[in-house]
Amino acid sequence: MTSFAYDADAGPSLARRVLRQREVGVFIALVVLVGAISIARPHFLASGNLFIMSRQIALTAIAAIGVFFVILTAGIDLSVGSAVGLTGYVCGLAFAAGAPMPVALLAALGCGALIGAINGFVVAYIGVTPFIITLGMLEICRSTIYTIRHGDSIRGIPASFLKIFGSGEFLGISSPVIALILLAIASHVVLNYTAYGRRVYAIGGNEEATKLSGINVRRVKFMTYVLCSVCCAIAGIMYVGYGTEAHADTGKDLELDAIAAAVIGGTSLMGGQGTVLGVLIGATIMGVVKNGLVLLDVSSYWQQMVIGIIIVAAAIIDVVQNANADNRKAIIRRIAGIFGRRAGAS
Amino acid sequence: MWKLCAVTMAGLVLAAFAGCNRTDNKQHFVMVPKGVNPYYDPCYEGFKDAGAKFGIETEFRAPQDFSVSEQQEVIEDLIQKHVDGIAISANDDQGLVGVIDEATKAGIKVITFDAPAPSSKALCYIGTVNDAAGYTAGTEMAKRMGDKGVLLMLQGGMGSQNLNERYAGFERAMKEKAPHVTIIAREDTQGKIPVAQEKTEQLLQAHPDATAIFGLSGECIPGAVPALKSANKAGKILLGGFDDIPDTLAAIRDGTCQFCLAQKTYKMGWLSVVELQAACAGKELPKQIDTGVLLVTKDNVDTYMAHMKEEAQQWGGEAATMPATMGAGTAPATQK
């Protein structure tokens, strides 16, 4: 039920603890989904398809892990997609100006850190609602990209960069997937085995209590926004490799996919609950569905709807699964009440 | 209170900027595209060049996103500034009826270019007639495919009226001229290059027997190119589509893309000025001017733009050479 790392040592047997994890439900859903699609279209499991699908999942999941840090503190970052776009564009601009690869990478990461620092400062130290400042940042970053070159792409990215971040692979695994694996392990360790990680969970659980226990809540929150935008910069760099150019519309609406991946994977938007593994499963479900819908020749008119239904279903299941027995009864009573009243009125 | 102050200040600053723009009693025409996209650069170039030639002040005001509401805001702002003419590439037909009405009432001449708003009071549409353009594209694709093979389609936004019209024309030409070609998919790229890339990759997995790809909107070819390259299918699969944005021209030069259909964007911009000027002079405008499309291949990729400009620059100035003088003007011009 809970994802606090430190109470995992408590009581029940391993098997029970595994079954009580929130990720189990979504993981079973993922397995069923993969099974169903591969029966209908065996090509789904072909290595070529797995390669492109995993790469697409990784590009979303890297950003999703970033926003996951922020959501754990009960915050939100809507500027994720624009930050991915702008950091990638900055990387491209650095190359266009003749900068060597390390400089271009640092420029992108630095740009990400700056975006996150502004978001984090305004949220944590001025006290503006995260929704508003990051919404503003979404517009600012995107409009910066458009202002620079009227929305044109940056071509002529050096082959040395594309060799690593574009066509690069290791044992048949694309570079975005490798980056994702490293990032996921690092995030898991930070969140579960460091004081900082525990504070992030604690703030989402109860911000007042955390403050009273003498923790510098502002600094912890500030850092989550910086980490988020730095993850975006990693995704931004990967997108330049993927597209072989820096596009002005890269990352548009990506924040919605990233937040959806976290929520589908069992992260609570109220903060304090969720795991990196859950985010990975959530992003994979979204990627599998998107890929499956094309393989199954589902009309484009329907695809968005299927994804919407999955997000809504995941959110409802999450609420019901998290409710204790009494609350669950209360939910059923409420629903019954609404329909009862309707029937009475007619 | 602070908020009110801030908003008022922002308003004043904007008003000051607006004031600066009105230098003398030159006519002031503004081009409002759907959003920010390099596609509109030659449109504005034509608009600006014509403005310079005929002594008209021109301005380019782009909504940041391709959204109706932002476009409405831009136009409302222009009504407050009392410009003389507005040329709009409409994001939506119904959504702009109100604000175009308002502009017309304020005595501003409004026309549409590139994307029409037939339900509104816009005086004229200057641009590609999409059904006809789609038919031209279909004819070219049919010729190149030789009545065999499997064709994949990409489209940016399934609710876009002009793209659906383009598709209708395209499909009609394919049915007539290459009835044995199978069109098996029509995926939504949402108007974004990375999504077009993702969808192309998935389509190539789903349909390994595909022999051709056609993109109905500008982002499709730029997205399809890296997908074809990473699948080692560049040049092996026929790739064609709409719009001559820089990415697409680069792909034509390197042989990954075989052809694109350039809309006559420069001409749209040039004619917008000519027609707005005619409207301000009280002339009646034709409802629609089809600017047509131009086939761009490796052979003419470096020269087609110069030809397009030359052709456009013949229009305007003398009343007799204007395509606008279809009938004698009856309504008096509302000159300011």
Virtual CA dihedral for A185, A188, A189, A192, nearest 10 degrees?
A: -170
- Asked if A294 lies within 8 A of B202 by C-beta distance, the reply is yes
Please choose, from the candidates A72, A111, A330, A37, the residue with its C-alpha nearest in 3D space to the C-alpha of residue A203: A72
Q: Which of B84, B81, B111, B80 is nearest to B26 (CA)?
A: B84
Taking the C-alpha atoms of residue A165 and residue A244, their distance in angstroms, rounded to an integer, is: 9
E strands along chain A, which residues?
169-170, 173-174
Q: In what order do the strands lie in the sheet with B259-263?
A: B182-188, B150-155, B212-215, B238-242, B259-263, B293-296
DSSP string, A274-285: --HHHHHHHHHH
Q: Does A167 touch chain B (CB under 8 A)?
A: yes
What local confidence, expressed as pLDDT, does residue A117 receive? 98
- At A155 the pLDDT is 93
- Half-sphere exposure of residue A10, counting CA atoms within 13 Å on the CB side? 7
If residue B260 lies in a helix (H) or strand (E), which one and from where to where? strand B259-263
Q: Contact at 8 Å (CB) between B128 and B292?
A: yes
CA distance A76 to A132: 10
Contact A303/B188 with Cβ under 8 angstroms? Answer: yes
- What ipTM is given for this predicted complex? 0.85
Task: Please choose, from the candidates B238, B206, B200, B250, the residue with its C-alpha nearest in 3D space to the C-alpha of residue B220.
Answer: B200
Give the mean pLDDT per block of 10 residues along chain B (336 residues): 62 53 75 89 94 94 87 94 94 89 94 91 92 95 95 89 91 95 91 94 95 95 95 95 94 96 94 94 91 94 92 72 39 32
Q: Is B206 within 8 Å of A43 when comparing Cβ atoms?
A: yes
Partners of A169 on chain B (C-beta within 8 Å) are none
Angle subtended by helix axes A47-72 and A217-243, to nearest 10: 160
Quote the pTM value: 0.82
CB distance from A146 to chain B under 8 Å?
yes
Nearest to B197 by CA among B216, B225, B217, B237: B225
**Is A49 in the B-facing interface, judged by CB distances under 8 Å?**
yes
Residues of B in contact with A251 (CB under 8 A): 194
Pairing of strands B109-113, B85-88: parallel
What pLDDT is recorded for position B15?
54
The tens digit of pLDDT for each residue in B37-87 reads 888 999 999 999 999 999 999 999 998 878 889 999 999 999 999 999 999
Does B188 contact A297 at a Cβ distance shorter than 8 Å?
no
Chain B contact for A150 (CB, 8 A cutoff): yes
Cα distances (Å, whole numbers) of residue B175 to B10, B60, B183, B269: 57, 41, 10, 34
CA distance A229 to A226: 5
List C-alpha distances in Å: A16 to A5, A21, A31, A80: 16, 9, 20, 37
CB contact under 8 A, A244 and B226: yes
Contacts of B231 in chain A (CB under 8 A): 48
Model confidence over B287-311: pLDDT tens digits?
Answer: 999 999 999 999 999 999 999 999 8
Cα distance between residue B46 and residue B108, in whole Å = 21
* CB atoms B187 and A143 under 8 Å: no
Q: What is the pLDDT of residue A331?
A: 82
Q: Name every residue whose Cβ is closer than 8 Å to that of residue B153 and which is 6 or more positions away in sequence.
A: B167, B183, B185, B186, B187, B213, B214, B215, B216
Q: Is the dihedral of CA B224, B225, B230, B233 positive or negative?
A: positive
Contacts of B186 (CB under 8 A, 6+ apart): A299, A300, B153, B154, B155, B167
Instruction: Please give chain A's pLDDT, 346 residues, in tens.
Output: 444 444 444 556 666 666 666 778 788 889 999 999 999 999 999 999 999 999 999 999 999 999 999 999 999 999 999 999 999 999 999 999 999 999 999 999 999 999 999 999 999 999 999 999 999 999 999 999 999 988 899 999 999 999 999 877 778 899 999 999 999 999 999 999 999 999 999 999 999 999 999 999 999 999 999 999 999 999 999 999 999 999 999 999 999 999 999 999 989 888 898 999 999 999 999 999 999 999 998 888 888 888 889 888 887 877 777 677 777 788 888 888 887 766 555 4
DSSP string over A246-310: B-TTTTTTHHHHHHHHHHHTT--TTSS---HHHHHHHHHHHHHHHHHHHHTT--HHHHHHHHHHH
Whether the CB-CB separation of B112 and B127 falls below 8 Å is answered with: yes
pLDDT at A25: 79
Q: What are phi and psi of A122, to 5 degrees?
A: -65, -35
